């Protein structure tokens, strides 16, 4: 199989326009990997490398320096016990369970994770002040993903 430029461009557009994060096609002689990272789609043809960007311009070189300036999270992490959708409040428009700067006690409900149409209340395992909320309301979370830090 020989990967033509038009074919690669169509695949890049397909990944860019969809929820896919990675697409890999292989034959005996070469492979193509198209990966979407932070709104940038990259295509690699191996053993020869070809990069194509779509959807958004590549991040400026200063971005990694900014990431290094971020302080390490303070406190103990509260992690997701399951895969699901993170909610900060019991219902849309309701007051959030917790906010940054708020003091929580062990056993207090800090958020809800919806999994398979079931709402699972997540309780803090520690007492202290919420220093950071790492997930946005309505965002998908993975098992073990840090939801927030309590100090």
Q: Average pLDDT for residues 67-79, to the nearest whole number?
A: 72
Q: Tell me the C-alpha to C-alpha distance, in Å, between residue 103 and each of 87, 124, 127, 130.
A: 19, 11, 7, 6
| Residue 47, pLDDT above cutoff 70 | no
Q: Taking Cα atoms as reference points, which of 71, 70, 77 lies closest to residue 149? A: 77
- Whether 68 is covered by a domain: the verdict is no
- Residue 56 CA to residue 88 CA, distance in Å, equals 30
3-state class (DSSP) for residue 41: strand
Question: What is the residue range of 19's domain?
Answer: 5-58
Is there a single domain that holds both residue 97 and residue 44?
no
pLDDT for residue 70: 56
Task: Express each pLDDT in 9-18 by its tens digit.
Answer: 887 888 778 7
The domain total for the chain is 2
pLDDT for residue 98: 95
Is there a single domain that holds both residue 26 and residue 84?
no
pTM equals 0.52
């Amino acid at each position: 199989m020989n990967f033509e430029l038009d074919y690669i461009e169509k695949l890049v557009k397909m990944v860019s326009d969809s929820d896919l994060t990675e697409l890999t096609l292989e034959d005996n002689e070469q492979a193509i990997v198209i990966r979407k990272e932070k709104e940038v789609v990259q295509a690699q043809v191996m053993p020869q490398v070809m990069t194509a960007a779509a959807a958004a311009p590549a991040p400026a070189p200063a971005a990694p320096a900014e990431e290094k300036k971020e302080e390490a999270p303070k406190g103990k992490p509260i992690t997701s016990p399951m895969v699901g959708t993170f909610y900060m409040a019991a219902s849309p428009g309701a007051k959030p369970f917790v906010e940054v700067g708020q003091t929580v006690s062990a056993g207090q409900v800090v958020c809800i994770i919806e999994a398979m149409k079931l709402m699972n209340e997540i309780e803090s395992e520690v007492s202290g002040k919420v220093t950071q909320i790492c997930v946005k309301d309505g965002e998908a979370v993975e098992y073990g993903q840090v939801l927030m830090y309590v100090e």
